[in-house]
Amino acid sequence: MMIIDINYWTRVIKNILYVILILLGLYIGFKLSVFYMPFLIAFIISLIIEPIIKFIMKKTHLTRKSSSIIIFLLVSLIILGILTWALITLFSESSSLLQGLNDYFDKAYIQFKAFINNFKFDKIHLSDEILSVFQNSTGDLLDTISNWIRNILTGLINFITSLPSISICIGITVVALYFICVDKIYILDQIEHHLPKIWVKKMGSHLRELIKTLGGYLKAQASLILISFIISLTGLYILKFIGFNISYPLLIALFIGFVDALPILGSGAVMIPWAIICAINGQLNLGIAIIVLLIIMSVVRQLLEPKLVSKNIGVHPIFTLVAMYTGFKIIGIMGLLIGPIILIIFKNIFASLIEQGVFKTIFDKN
């Protein structure tokens, strides 16, 4: 007769329920963060400017409210100015690129066919059938990329032209930022007042550790991405002003910044192929200029990265790659960014389980 160990299975079920509840909480938290995005943005900005507010309070001996209002006004003016310029420029560049997209890809396909015709495939003994499949698949790939870019640009234009909703979101973000900065102490007291003490204690310890690891990592990465974006944008505008054929500097700089944000990849994944294509098309000077700009960006990043980012976040590149692919399959392009972030959150929350072995911790009888 088999004896069932009630205590063992009770502990296993409790551990499984614990993991399920945390995963459910993370899912609900993610959904709520998307739904309340203006408040999340305001909270992130408040974290960034909090050291400045404390610095003003220390140096000028002003109250928190007065210091917060001064920094809030400065930050709001800077953000609104940048947003106004960015939206106008993005709308102009996106509309122009969308109108000429077919021409660009037609030229790319013609150049590829010319390359195929000029390349001596007889040396590698490829049959006509294989060459035909290669050409057709390349045409399909270019069509897919064209449709993908067209959808992104159309969505971007639709987003920019939806001024009422954008205005409401910006307005709510600005007002929320004001209250978070000015009444931070009161808001924290109210949260502690309405939650059980044991929740506050446990949530506080988890949040402090999460902000220390994930917050520090994201802040450092955001700083590096912003630096790369500013350098690439400035460099591209300089190249445009001195006569090089660069039609969409802001869009290109945004794309470089996006790729630079992806773990494993980097700005070189965009700029090196771009420089090679320019050289093949007879624009050797532009290709060299792009490589020089890439070198400048890489040098600046290498100088700043050791000071801003801890090299070891405890996540092997293969798991980062799996997280990127999983995020991409679930929510699309943004999943490439969000996947690794969620991986770091999981690693932080389940640190004890991971260190001891997840299944060993749940199912081991010892």
User: pLDDT for 141-166, tens place per residue?
Assistant: 666 766 777 777 777 677 667 666 77
- Considering the entire predicted model, what is its pTM? 0.62
Indicate the pLDDT class of residue 312, thresholds 50, 70 and 90: very low
- pLDDT recorded at residue 141: 63
Give the alpha-carbon dihedral of 99, 248, 254, 37, to 10 degrees.
-50
Amino acid occupying residue 304: L
Q: Using CA atoms, how far apart are residues 178 and 265, in angstroms rounded to an integer?
A: 37
For residues 231 and 308, give the distance between their C-alpha atoms in angstroms, rounded to a whole number: 17
Instruction: Give the torsion sign (CA, 94, 96, 99, 105).
Output: negative
Higher-scoring residue by pLDDT: 303, 312: 303
Helices (H), 100-212: 101-118, 128-161, 163-182, 184-194, 197-210
* pLDDT tens digits, 22-52: 778 777 877 888 788 888 888 878 877 888 8
- Asked which of 134-148, 241-255, 317-331 is least confident by mean pLDDT, the reply is 134-148
